[in-house]
Copies of this chain bind each other. A is one copy, B any other.
C-alpha cells in the first residue's frame, strides 16, 4: 500500500509540473488521506518535487486507531495545537525555496488563503483545482476491497434490524441502533447520519429521524452506510410493516424497483453520466412522477460520501471502469409516504460481469 500512496503523489507531482508549479499544498482532508494513507484532523500536506511534508497537530494521541501511521517517506512536521497546519506547511515551502505553490482554492477560505500567501514569502500561489479529486475517481482494487467490506457491514446491520420487532419503535431509535450495529461489525463509523423514515416520512431523500413510531401498514425507508478504513458506501431500502402491503404500496415499490434496476443496468465504462439517470427517470415520469428540480439519480462515492462523477440528467462526461457510484431513485408523495431504493455499485465492463453490486440486501418489498 505504501507504493500506492507514493504512486498517487507522483501523479500529482506530474500534474503540478505540467501546470508550472513546483509544489502543491493539500488541505482537503479526503485528499490528504488519499495521498498519505492518513488524515489526522487538520493536517496539511506539502508536496514538492522531492519531498512530502505532513504538518499535523502535535497533540494527536499516539496510540489511536492506527489512522495516523505515516509512511516513512512522508516527513512529519508537528505544529502546536490550535495553530494552522497550512501556515506551517506554507512556511516550509518558503524555506525550501518553492517558486510556485498550487493550492486548493475550493478548500481554502479567503482568509486562510491570505494567511498562506502572507506566510509563504517569495512564493507565488497558483490554483490547483480539483486535481486530487480527479485522481480519486477511478479506484484501485485495494480501495474497492475496502468499499466491499463497508457494504458488507451496512448489509449486516440492516439484516439484523429486519429480524427484530419494529412496530412501536421510533425512527430515532432505529437509526441509533443501526449506527451502533455498524460499529459493532467493524465500521470506523457511520458514513453519514442514518435516516429512518416511516409512514408519511418514507421515501424522502434526507429525512432526519423523528420521534414518530413505526405503525402497522407503514412504509419504512432506511438510508444507511458504513465507513471502513475511510471508504464509504450508501444504501437505501423501503419495506412495509405488517402482514400485507396495500395495493398502492405494491405498485409504487414496483415502480421504484424497476427504475432503480434500469439505472443500475445502464452503468458501464464509456457510458455518459446522464444515461443511468435518464433510464430511471423515464420510468418514473411515465408513471406521472416528475421533479420540479431533478435530483441526480446517483453520484460517485469513496473517501467522501458524495464525490465525482455526478449522475444527473445534464452530466455529460463518460463513466470509467472501477468507478464506484450510487444509484438511488425514489418517489415521495407528500402526506402519504414513498419509496427509495439505493445501491452502491462499481462500474465494470461486461467482460468482468458488468456493474458490481456492493450492497446486496434484498430489494424485494418485504413485509416486516
Which residues of chain A have a CB within 8 Å of any CB of chain B? 41, 58-65, 80-82, 105-114, 127, 172, 176, 179-180, 183, 189, 193, 200-201, 204-208, 210, 292-293, 295-296, 310, 312, 334
Contacts and interface: CB of A to CB of B under 8 A. Distances in A.
A109 B107 contact: yes
A180 B296 CA distance: 33
Contacts of A113: 110
A26 B201 CA distance: 30
Number of identical protomers: 2
Contact of A110 (B41, B61, B110, B292): B110
A106 B113 CA distance: 10
21 contacts: A59-B205, A59-B206, A59-B295, A60-B206, A61-B204, A61-B206, A61-B207, A63-B200, A64-B207, A65-B210, A81-B293, A81-B295, A82-B295, A82-B312, A105-B109, A105-B114, A106-B112, A108-B110, A110-B110, A176-B183, A189-B193
Contacts of A312: 82
Given A61-B207, A63-B200, A64-B207, 12 more contacts: A59-B205, A61-B201, A61-B206, A61-B208, A62-B334, A63-B201, A81-B293, A82-B312, A108-B109, A110-B110, A176-B179, A189-B193
A18 B292 CA distance: 42
Contact of A106 (B61, B111, B310): B111
Nearest to A103: B110
Contacts of A58: 292-293
A7 B176 CA distance: 38
Contacts of A295: 59, 81-82
